[in-house]
Amino acid sequence: MTQQSSQFLYVFRGGLDPAKRSPDEMQKNMDAWWGWINDLRSKGHFEAGQPLQKGGRVLSGKRGQKVTDGPFAEGKEEVGGYLLLSAKDLATATELAKGCPILNEENGTVEVRAIWQMESP
């Protein structure tokens, strides 16, 4: 019997502002991201992922009665995207994250979180 892989979520924060990059720098950055993602895909780890648009809404209070424009995190703390992948365990998912291009940025981070597998009632 083979060991079942677990799902993990990478949450990307920080990195350079695309508006402050030249078109050549943007292309090199995107090439690095696609290279890393395609490597994860070829090894059977990549499941899904996308960058997030700026802005959005923040709901709070009972039943989300308070709605404000957001997010309001500092630039380096703002979530810029996510990636869903499968890996044997947290140690493997963490090791795979070390290849992420955002880690080449001064303030780029990858948060690695295990996804709790819940069964429907």
CA torsion through residues 62, 63, 68, 74, sign: positive
How buried is 109 (Cβ within 10 angstroms: 0-12 exposed, 13-18 middle, 19+ buried)? middle
Check residue 95 and give its pLDDT: 97
Q: Residue 45 has which token pair?
A: 């780890």
* pTM, two decimal places: 0.82
Residue 29 lies in a domain: yes
In a domain, 102, yes or no: yes
Domain contains 120: no
Which secondary structure element, helix H or strand E, spans residue 87, and what is its range? strand 79-87
The total number of structural domains that make up the chain = 1
Range of the domain at 92: 6-114
Looking at residue 52, which CATH number applies to its domain?
Answer: 3.30.70.1060
Average pLDDT, the chain: 87
Range picked from 3-7, 19-23, 95-99 for highest mean pLDDT: 95-99
Q: What residues contact 53, with CB distance under 8 A and at least 6 apart?
A: none
